[in-house]
Amino acid sequence: MEMSPLGKFLLPVPALVFFLSGAPFYGGLLPVGVGGTVVGGPCEYKGYQGQVRIMFVIPVHSAGETGTAFEVRFSFRPADKVIEPFADPEDRLFLLTMKNGTLPDQRFLEKYRLETGRILDGRLLVITRGTCTPTLFEFTGVDLGDYGPR
């Protein structure tokens, strides 16, 4: 069966889109968080040291093999004023997510002693160059890439 001229043109389009997306170079189409570094391209961040306060921890749904997933909301109080208006943490609560975007499980919360009222040191990262995630958080002594035994 003979392919139409239009079909010959359209067939390579998905391969071209895949190549131009950068997926062959970055390991896939999905962005990676802090530690994996590529979150939309080569970017630079400014860090603000401060304190994280866990405001609440509530179970939200089953996380498959790892049990229940938890919504952990926290506030951030920077040591210095955050000058970027879009990143100002005042009067805001943030959702704690793992590096892969999932919610933490019971094992993770227990290992890092994340419970309502706990205060720990952390850092707010605010983008200064590039098109990556605008704000990220790091928590001293907490590995957001610790998914436990697999």
Question: Which residue do the tokens 């200064």 mark?
Answer: 128
* Res 139 pLDDT > 90: yes
Note the pLDDT of residue 61.
78
Instruction: Say which DSSP state 11 is in.
Output: T
Q: What is the pLDDT at residue 149?
A: 76
Domain residue limits, the chain: 1-30, 44-139
Per-residue model confidence as pLDDT tens digits over 59-83: 997 656 657 899 999 999 999 999 9
From the list 137, 145, 147, the residue with the least C-alpha distance to 50 is 137
pTM comes to 0.69
Note the Cα 2 to chain centre separation in Å.
48
Residues 82, 124 contacting (CB under 8 angstroms)? yes
Amino acid at 42: P
Q: 77-116 pLDDT, tens per residue?
A: 999 999 999 999 999 999 999 999 999 999 999 999 999 9
